[in-house]
Amino acid sequence: FQSRSFQPDFVPRDPNAKPKRYKYPAFYDPYGPRPPPSDKIIQLAEKIAALPTAERNQIGQALNERTRHPRMQQISVEVIGMSSQGGTAGATKTEEKKAEKTAFDVKLEKFDTAAKIKIIKEVRTFTSLGLKEAKELVEKAPVVLKQGITKEEANGIIEKLKAVGGTAVMER
């Protein structure tokens, strides 16, 4: 039994008193209040605002050149489209690499209700689940039983599940 009254820094509060209301700012500004801009900056902003639109668009480029910022390269949609269509030999090589997956998922599609207990026991052998968790997992079929395993391991699990009366597939 703990009570705040036994703590040394306890100060009793009036139970009828209303809790304090704190006033939060309308928006959070992590840098705090900023000082007003100098007269020089205000005059510069007025001069920029008075420029025609074409000259205003050139200000960014001129400032980047003056401060030696690296120029950003523009990427057009046409270039992206041509790179995927133009190099057909390169594209087929990348597709072949994508086809050779190393990680697979085993999904239990359905099972024979008479073989439910055998399926649960088999699921427990290749997962680290307890009896209750394995039972809940099997009852949710279709469900992914194991993820990110090799093709050989996935084929072994599928064969074991077929032997006890389940239907499993390899995904990815």
Residue 76 predicted with pLDDT over 90 = no
Q: Using the predicted structure, report yes or no on whether residue 40 has a pLDDT greater than 90.
A: yes
Q: By percentage, how much of the chain surpasses pLDDT 70?
A: 72
Non-local CB neighbours of 168 within 8 Å, separated by 6+ positions: 106, 107, 108, 109, 145, 157, 158, 161, 162
CATH code reported for the domain at 104-171: 3.30.1390.10
Q: 3-state class of 152 per DSSP?
A: helix
User: In the chain, what are the domain boundaries?
Assistant: 38-70, 104-171
- Predicted model pTM: 0.42
Task: Say yes or no to pLDDT of 80 above 80.
Answer: no
Residue 143 sits at φ, ψ, to 5 deg, of: -150, 150
On whether the CB atoms of residues 123 and 138 are closer than 8 A, the answer is yes
pLDDT at 62 > cutoff 90: no
